[in-house]
Each structure stands twice: as structure tokens, then as C-alpha cells.
Structure 1
Amino acid sequence: MSRPDILCIGAVLWDIIGRSSSHMKLGADVPGRITRLPGGVAMNIAMTLAHFGLKPAVLTAIGQDPAGDELAERAEELGVSTAHAYRSADLPTDIYMACEGANGLIAAIADAHSLEAAGEKILAPLSDGRLATAERPWDGPVALDGNLTESLLSRIAASPLMAEADLRVAPASPGKAQRLMALVGHPSACLYVNLEEAGLLCQCDFASAAEAAEALRGIGVARALVTHGGSEAAEASPGGLTRLRPPEVLVTRVTGAGDTFMAAHIASERAGMAPEAAFARALRAAATYVSGENPH
């Protein structure tokens, strides 16, 4: 089995997304389309990385139920390896449900209880020799998602198994952003957050992505990329602050946009692009995604 180019650790589940072209309010009942697709932050990132020509593998929990078998098969078809996933006979395959209108995301529920229950079992390939060992830790990129519990993220941050890894971190949702505090202070952790998530981490309201990115650096984040919808985005790193505005597009979907941005940025840097060029390419990929087209 060939070595993966990158490990994506976190949620791999079924996305059930209802979309309508109508503006929606609480209690709205409107026509639209409902889709069922492989999803979860780790899976979304992995799929986009595969689109960019990389070989990702997911470390996650997938049930041995029919939904899990179908999900694993579909992932492999999309270029995402599930060979190292923890397949539980006792835990069902996780699921995410969202409702989107012309005015954006209306509501969503993430049922990632199996991933949380599996805990450190999903990391076994990093210590048992399948991918790495304590003596030979994984030294490539790792995409972490905030669906992992805060205690597991804390253990990952302190683990010698991740001492040489290039950690890229996504919060999963504003409701889980606080979990990423476990990665603050890690020497290689790069956080990808939106303006709201940055505010939750810093316990402050920000007027711009640039202000938020610099504040994240101020609390100990090694590198931060902050997006703000169609407004200016910013990257703060030891090399300074970069501000870029994403392309203007008609928004037709929002679920998965942040994951697409993160994956495109990782792929661009892996391809050797300069920091600002990689940042710009990632913003273009996310804009293309929300417009309804494929990001690659």
C-alpha cells in the first residue's frame, strides 16, 4: 500500500443537504432539492485534495453497517483511502443534515457521536506501524477537524506522534470553534477559520479578517487564515499579514466551502506555489465551489 500524501483526521459521514432557491425563515416549508453525498469536514477536505491530484487517507470512524460500507466504497471511488479508518461493529455511521436557502445556511445538525465515541482508536495507524510509529512519527501534512473532542485534540497537540507533522486545522463549525484552543501554541498549527470562529477563539468581535488574523497570532496561533464570506480574507504568519479579496460570484451553496478553501490552500502549497499565490488560488477554488461548480 502506497504512503498517503496527507492524512485527514476527523468526520467522514453522509451529508443530507436540503437546498432551496427561496429565502427561508423559521418554520418555512418550500420546494427544493435534497441530496445525499459523502461529507464531513475530513472527507470534504480529502475529496478536494484528491481533485487536486493528491493521495489523501482518512483516519476516522465508520460503522460496519450498510451505510458505512457504501460510504467507504464511495470514498475509494473518489480517490480517498479508507484503508486506515476504524470500522466499528458497534457504532453506526455518522450523519450530517443541513438546510440551505437563498439567504444561506438556515440550520444544521451534525451527528458525529460515533467519531467522538471511537476517540483515540482512530489514531492507531500512527503508532502501530501502518503509517508511523513512536520512533518514526508521521512527518507529512495532517488536516485535523474540530469534530474531534477537545480532549483528543489536546492529546494530538501534545503527542510525539505529531511532533514532526504539518498540522492544518479546521473548526468544523462555529459551535465547535472553542475546541481549537487545544492547538493554540503548537509550533506548526495553521488554523483556517471564518470571522465568527476567530471571534469565538479570541472572545472578541472583529470588524475585519485582517484584524482577526492578527489577533489569533497574538494569542499564540502559529499561522491563521481567516475568511469573511465575499469580503476581504487575511493570512497572518511569521512572515507578516496578507489581505486578499475573493472573486465575486453568485452563491448557490455554502456547506463545504471552508473545507474546499483549506484543501485548495494545502494542495497549492504542496505544489510549491508562493504563499500569496496559494492563498489566492484557494479563494478562487472556494468561490467556484459556492457558485455551484467543481473547485478544480
Structure 2
Amino acid sequence: MDKTPDILCIGSVLWDVVGRTGAEMVKGNDVPGRIVRIPGGVALNIAMTLKGFGLVPGLVSVLGTDPAGNELAAACEDMNLVTRYLTRDPDLPTDSYIAIEDGSGLVAAMCDAHSLEAAGERILAPLLDGRLGSDAAPYPGTIALDGNLTETLLANIAERPAFRAADLRIAPASPGKATRLTPLLAHPGATLYVNLEEAGLLLGRSFDGAHLAAEALVSAGATRAMVSDGARSAALGTFEGTISAAPPKVAQVRVTGAGDTFMAAHIAAELRREDAQAALDTALRAAATFVSGGTPK
């Protein structure tokens, strides 16, 4: 696709393998269910949702030249995502993610993003060599950035002049990677998107709700912090104050990708210039639609 992207999505682009069952599971269970293999990864999940809201996302990541990578690249092109900024590496296998979900939510998950980590700064070449930007002419647009990048690379992005003018929207990818975002707290254009657990890990304390966690992240230096808490209220903290809202109540069909959908819907709403409360409400509705099995629009 030759269009100029409205937003860049930097991070994991991979295959999701998700097993779902309506049964309640405990460790060691072997139950019947459905298993699907779908395009995924935080950056790609965000891009697909943004595309559904009428935006043109560009992918910045790495894919192998193996059959899995070729198939995934073709799938992204079929979805009219901008793929020309993807790094293709014949020596790295295409990354993958596996999750098990039961009737109450996520049971366990594992992300193999070793190729993304191994590619390192090479994936950022379009933002450094003049195609999209450089240290002398920083990229001025919106970037959705996920925490599957290494801590070293995230710290480099936090300090590099090429990223100082960007509207950075940042997700940790998982609680286990939340602390990687610490160097980005001080970026003047950063908005953090974390859940309640991830907020606690970033600040080394626990919180009773999203409102308090969002306020604490701003007090710790974040310019803006969005904190979600599943079916409970989410909150957006800024230097001007904190707002919150509760999501619609829906029957849960799936959970993998819900946080990425929430983040993408909020970005899209703000790029449409919805006010802060309306954008939060839009994001919560989109996440609820996704969890219930529908397609956010």
C-alpha cells in the first residue's frame, strides 16, 4: 500500500494462536475448545483497530522471510495497512504469541518476541534515515509504541531527538514488561496506556482503582496516563486533572486484544478531536464491543 500513514504502529507484528473454552480451567486441565490463528501483536492489533476507524496505519516492525512472515505480510497488505516500513530479515523467524482463555478470562499466555528484540534499532531506520524523520528533522506525527521492544531501545527512543516531536502513545504489552516504560515517563509528548496492575508495577505500589493510579503516574512525571481496570472504571490523568468513566456491561466472549482495542479507539477519537470525556467513553465502548465478540467502529 502506497498511502502516507496517518499514524505509525511500532512493535510486535506476529501470529496469535488463541485457544478458547467456556469451561473453567485450572492448572493441568485438558478441555475441548476452539483454537484460532490470527494476525496479532500489540502494534498490529492497534493498527487493525485504527484501520476500522478510518485511519491509515503504517507498521514498523520485523518479519522473517519464512512462510509465516510472508503469509503475515500478505495478510497486512490485504487489510490495506502500510507495510513498506517493515524490516524483513531472512535470519530471524516470525514472532508468535499463544494464549488460553476460559469462561472467566485469560488463563495463561506467552509472547515470543525474540526476533523483534534481536532486530533492535534496525526496525527504526525509517524514522532515522529521512524516510519518515531523522534526528535533524524529527517525525511530528502520532506513534503507537509497544513495550515488546527492549528496555535499551525504549530508553533510546525516550532520549533520541528523532522522537522528541512525536505524539507518543505507549503500551507496555504485558505486566511483565511494564517497567520497561520507565524511561518514557518523562517524554513530553507521551501518553501511557496501562492497566491497574501495570501502573502498580511502574510505581512500585498497589492501587485500589484507576483514578488514583492515573493521578499517581502524573505525579511521578507522566504527561498523560490512561489506566484501565477491566470491567471497572478507567481513568485519564493529566496535569490539568483526572477524569474517569465506567465501561458498558457486556457478556465476555474474548479478552486477548481488548486492551489494544481500547488504546486504538482512544487514539482515533482524539485524532477526530473528541473532547477528553467523549474520547474516553468511545474507547470504553469499543473495548466492550470487542470483548462481547463484535467489531468496534
Runs of 4+ in 1 over 3 A off after TM superposition: none
Distance 1:270 1:79 in 2: 20
Give me the identity figure in percent.
57
Distance 1:240 1:195 in 2: 18
Which residue is 1:266 aligned to?
A: 267
SS at match of 1:184: helix
Distance 2:272 2:7 in 1: 13
Which residue is 2:205 aligned to?
A: 204
Counterpart AA for 2:268? A
SS at match of 1:167: strand
Contact 1:214/1:236 (8 A) holds in 2: yes
Which residue is 2:242 aligned to?
A: 241
Distance 1:30 1:295 in 2: 30
Contact 2:164/2:189 (8 A) holds in 1: no
Counterpart AA for 1:63? G
Which residue is 1:10 aligned to?
A: 11
Give per-residue Cα distances to partners, 1:43-71, cap 9 Å, x unaligned. Answer: 00000000000000111010011110100
Which residue is 1:129 aligned to?
A: 130
Counterpart AA for 1:3? T
Give per-residue Cα distances to partners, 1:157-205, cap 9 Å, x unaligned. Answer: 1011101100000010001101011211111110011100001011111
Aligned counterparts, 1:160-239, within 5 A: 160-239=161-240
1:275 maps to 2:276:
yes
What TM-score comes out, normalization by structure 2 length?
0.98
Distance 2:193 2:182 in 1: 13
Distance 1:250 1:16 in 2: 22
Deviation at 1:129, TM superposition (A): 2.1
Which residue is 2:77 aligned to?
A: 76
Which residue is 1:141 aligned to?
A: 142
Which one is further off, 77-86 or 62-71?
77-86
Q: CA RMSD in A?
A: 0.8
Which residue is 2:96 aligned to?
A: 95
Contact 2:250/2:288 (8 A) holds in 1: yes
Q: Which runs of 5+ in 1 are unaligned?
A: none
Aligned residues: 296
Counterpart AA for 1:205? S
SS at match of 1:62: strand
Deviation at 1:270, TM superposition (A): 0.6
